[in-house]
Structure 1
Amino acid sequence: MSNRPLEKNTENTSPTVSVVITCYNYGHYLDGCMQSVLQQTYTDYEILLIDDGSTDDTAEVVQKYNHLENFHYIFQENGGQARAKNRGIESARGEFIAFLDADDLWHQDKLAEQIPLFADPGVGVVYSRAQLMDANGEKMEVGDAGEYLRPRSGRVVEWLLFDNFVWFSSSVVRATCLQQFGGFDESLAMGIDWDLWMRLSLHCDFAYVDRPLLLYRVGHPGQMSKNADGRRACADRILDGFIDAHKERLHPRAVRQAQAYADCNRGYHYIDTDRWRSLRFFARSVCMHPWSLEPYKGLFHWLFRF
């Protein structure tokens, strides 16, 4: 990939897109990430790199990009991923904000394919499918992600109750939506994107490009999503808090089914560490949604686990 400079903004007008990259000790991956943005066929953008207190070679990697007209490097003391992303939102000048984590990569046509979907003024978030890759950048083949991880368009709030199907580093958000309805919840350690998508989905439509415009890296050291217990706790807090705050705007059947689905997942989570707690979650899932096969499958696994 070539390191071509961004177009100069000679009229001092705001770019259409602000690319917000957040980085914490991902200097090893940062150059590839930056190059994937610089290779975009859509060029009306600025890059804001938020360094969340990295102690590796991130600052050294950044030096090769400091000469670019529309590149802005912002260092902050380590405050967590939500604070870093909010810092990017606060500093952005674009009409749209495209999020990217420093260990991920974009397809060169990503922005070119996504930005036109905002021609519909009701659309607030545009995302895409993703291709998984390992720590070394090798593409990985994965099976069907399941019903609740299929991409959806339109008013997706009741689908988001079940699971987060929006790949974060594929997302582009209308900046006015973030200004009106808030950014990332800095009290959350994980799941900050799912929390944001649910809140935004109450007010705007989602759209997606049905092909993998994101290369998403998995399995490398430091990846927060590997913390299963922390992820489960944050997911429970996010879902329960959202339903409590907005129950009057959600269809009761969707709420019941989503809570049953969450309880079934909780049952599987505790099946090896707290069997009686696991059983209670499976039983509650059956009570909430007795026509679903999933909690019965969970009870079968629970019964014959040992």
Structure 2
Amino acid sequence: MKHPLVSVVIASYNMGQYLPQAIQSILDQTYKNLEVIVIDDGSTDNTEQNIRPMLCDSRLFYVKQPNLGQPKAKNNGLAQCKGEFIAFCDGDDLWEENKLELQIPLFNRPEVGVVYSEVSYIDENNKTYDKQPPYVRYEGKVTEQLLEKNFVPFGTAVIRKECIEKDGVFNDEYRMGIDWDLWLRYSLNWEFLFCPSKTYIYREWSGQMSNNMKGRYDYAFKILREFEAKHGSKIPEKAIKHSWADMFISRGVAMARAERTFINPLKDIVKGISMEPSSIYGWKALVKLFLRRI
């Protein structure tokens, strides 16, 4: 099919203020063959009231469930997708109108499982601003690069439904980092392609879950540990070791910056260097920590 059906999953909790704007940005796509599945994860705000007038569009489906957390909400959405391709949007974010028009044609080979893109940023008042991408973006077989950094901005990704059928849905044992776990598993069997255009608009505002630095690293360690246990034999030992070293150093840097502490970040950075003594990143982090420049 030239224009296959794309299913878009929005799992939302108490995003009534922003959700209609997110939905409308998807319905306004220049690519028209799509459906939008909104999973309301037990919201207690005005979510239902605000989107009910939008349900006159036959492409929009609204499902309210008890509050079960984002992994189960996303999986509920995935279970209802009818499309050959699946995309995501968080309830407080937006799509550029040409997102699918740019990304769907890149699925031009059966081995391409994920197409992702660059992002732009807005604040809670819809004000746009520039921000340097934090990571290098990679294409092809990217497991080793993903082990070091999750360089795929979640909401930018479009995936083949076959990825889910072959390699599973979100792991609902994790509250955070569920996209990194998903990409790691998919990377074993599928190629990733990068669209350099900014097709996704990420909203940054105070209090959102992604600001919980300690929680992010707690789950990242769990994800890496489980991935190594299940799939480590498929990956070069050097890549696994490098990933662990980077994880410890990155946590040390992040916690030193977030909490302005010294002892625990020092332990993490030293641990990382001991695992990979040639790590320039680790030695630079150690010097910066002692100079209080992190």
TM bin (shorter chain)? over 0.9
1:53·1:78 contact (CA, 8 Å) conserved in 2? yes
Q: How does 1:139-288 map to 2 (within 5 A)?
A: 139-145=128-134, 149-221=135-207, 223-271=208-256, 275-288=262-275
Letter in 2 for 1:245: K
1:23 is displaced (CA, Å) by 1.1
- 1:247 is paired with a residue whose SS is helix
Identity %: 39
- 1:161 is paired with a residue whose SS is helix
Letter in 1 for 2:228: I
1:85 is displaced (CA, Å) by 0.5
Deviations 1:23-78 (A, max 9, x none): 11111101111111111010011111110111111101121122222211111000
CA distance in 2, matches of 1:160, 1:93: 29
Give 2:58's aligned residue: 69
The runs of at least 4 aligned residues of structure 1 exceeding 6 Å deviation read none
CA distance in 2, matches of 1:39, 1:55: 27
What is the Cα-based RMSD across aligned positions, in Å?
1.8
Letter in 1 for 2:7: S
Structure 1: runs of 5+ lacking an equivalent: 1-13
Letter in 1 for 2:151: F
Mapped pair 1:99 → 2:88: yes
2:5·2:34 contact (CA, 8 Å) conserved in 1? yes
1:295 is displaced (CA, Å) by 1.3
Mapped pair 1:23 → 2:28: no
1:183 is displaced (CA, Å) by 0.5
Letter in 2 for 1:170: T
1:125·1:205 contact (CA, 8 Å) conserved in 2? yes
1:84 is displaced (CA, Å) by 0.7
1:280 is displaced (CA, Å) by 2.7
Q: How does 1:118-157 map to 2 (within 5 A)?
A: 118-145=107-134, 149-157=135-143
CA distance in 2, matches of 1:150, 1:278: 25
1:89 is displaced (CA, Å) by 0.5
1:15·1:46 contact (CA, 8 Å) conserved in 2? no
2:252·2:264 contact (CA, 8 Å) conserved in 1? yes
Deviations 1:100-145 (A, max 9, x none): 1111111111001111111210011111000011111111222352
Give 2:33's aligned residue: 44
CA distance in 2, matches of 1:270, 1:227: 11
Letter in 1 for 2:279: S
Comparing 205-214 with 293-302, which one deviates more in the overlay? Answer: 293-302
CA distance in 1, matches of 2:15, 2:124: 12
Letter in 1 for 2:215: G
Letter in 2 for 1:30: L
Deviations 1:82-107 (A, max 9, x none): 01100010001000111111111111
1:241 is displaced (CA, Å) by 1.8
Q: How does 1:6-21 map to 2 (within 5 A)?
A: 16-21=5-10
Letter in 1 for 2:131: V
Query: TM (normalized to structure 2)?
Result: 0.93
2:7·2:37 contact (CA, 8 Å) conserved in 1? yes
Deviations 1:197-239 (A, max 9, x none): 0011011001121111000001244x10011111111111112
1:15·1:93 contact (CA, 8 Å) conserved in 2? no
CA distance in 2, matches of 1:266, 1:30: 32
1:15 is displaced (CA, Å) by 6.1
1:305 is displaced (CA, Å) by 3.3
1:282·1:295 contact (CA, 8 Å) conserved in 2? yes
* Cα distance, 1:193–1:144 mapped onto 2, change above 3 Å: closer
Picking from 276, 288, 297, the partner of 2:284 is 297
Give 1:4's aligned residue: none
2:213·2:255 contact (CA, 8 Å) conserved in 1? no
1:183·1:196 contact (CA, 8 Å) conserved in 2? yes
- 1:119 is paired with a residue whose SS is coil
1:47·1:70 contact (CA, 8 Å) conserved in 2? yes
* Cα distance, 1:234–1:94 mapped onto 2, change above 3 Å: same
